[in-house]
């Protein structure tokens, strides 16, 4: 199974900037781009000739199961987000101290403060990278688990509706294969509805201001963002 970097997941946020932790909609995480060999072996075959499209990654996150599991992951990772924010706030406080008092310090005191800032900045960057890697790993595990169960549903829907080939539009052109489509051959929404019916998972409560349209997951905020924005690396004043 191949994977790719994609932008999504704005509810599970590990965003950390120079100003502190904040939500971001431009996050990256690795996701499977196609069913695995095991999943493919369970996909029904048919004799259809229609060409269709499906946004596999959107279908995963728009499903009730996906929304539920990524919301749970978001809550699970909240303590780490708080920890990173605390580390970032500490670095920023030291930088402000250096900016306000640096010229009044003797060389030894100023040098010690600069060294302390640099050490804590490096520690923060390592923590951010570790948190990003952990979040992406857990997201990928959830996505792959759901895709294993969703693949047969996709195949059955395609076979039942006369599709001979489906193109995954999770990655947009020029990185993806589809330059343009009018949406009339996209089966993402009906596949999500079929999967929700089969899984029996109830729709979880949606965050305020999000869309209820299952095909609009990439814009509604129903996807979690589990990446951590790299903190500012601007060196302290010398």
pLDDT tens track for 2-37 = 333 233 332 222 332 222 222 222 322 333 344 444
Q: Is the peptide bond before 174 cis (omega within 30 degrees of 0)?
A: yes
Please tell me the pTM assigned to this model. Answer: 0.67
Give the Cα separation of 236 and 18 in Å (integer). 12
Average pLDDT (169-197) is 90
What is the pLDDT, as a whole number, of residue 213? 43
What is the pLDDT, as a whole number, of residue 47? 63
Instruction: Give the count of beta carbons closer than 10 Å to the beta carbon of residue 57.
Output: 26
Say if residues 201 and 46 touch (Cβ distance below 8 Å): no
Give the Cα separation of 34 and 32 in Å (integer). 6
């Amino acid at each position: 199974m191949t994977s790719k970097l994609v932008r999504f997941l704005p509810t599970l946020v590990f965003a950390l900037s120079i100003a502190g932790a904040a939500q971001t909609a431009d996050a990256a995480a690795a996701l499977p781009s196609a069913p695995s060999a095991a999943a493919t072996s369970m996909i029904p075959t048919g004799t259809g000739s229609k060409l269709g499209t499906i946004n596999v990654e959107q279908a995963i996150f728009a499903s009730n199961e996906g929304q539920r599991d990524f919301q749970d992951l978001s809550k699970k990772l909240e303590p780490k987000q708080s920890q990173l924010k605390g580390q970032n706030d500490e670095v920023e406080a030291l930088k402000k101290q250096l900016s306000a008092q640096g010229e009044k310090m003797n060389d030894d005191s100023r040098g010690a403060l600069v060294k302390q800032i640099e050490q804590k900045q490096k520690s923060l960057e390592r923590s951010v990278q570790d948190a990003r890697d952990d979040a992406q790993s857990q997201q990928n595990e959830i996505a792959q688990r759901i895709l294993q169960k969703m693949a047969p549903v996709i195949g059955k829907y395609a076979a039942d509706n006369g599709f001979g080939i489906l193109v995954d539009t999770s990655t947009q052109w020029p990185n993806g294969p589809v330059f343009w489509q009018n949406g009339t051959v996209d089966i993402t929404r009906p596949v999500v509805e079929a999967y929700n019916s089969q899984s029996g998972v109830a729709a979880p409560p949606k965050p305020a201001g999000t869309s209820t349209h299952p095909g609009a997951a990439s814009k509604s905020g129903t996807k979690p963002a589990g990446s951590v924005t790299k903190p500012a690396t601007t060196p302290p004043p010398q």
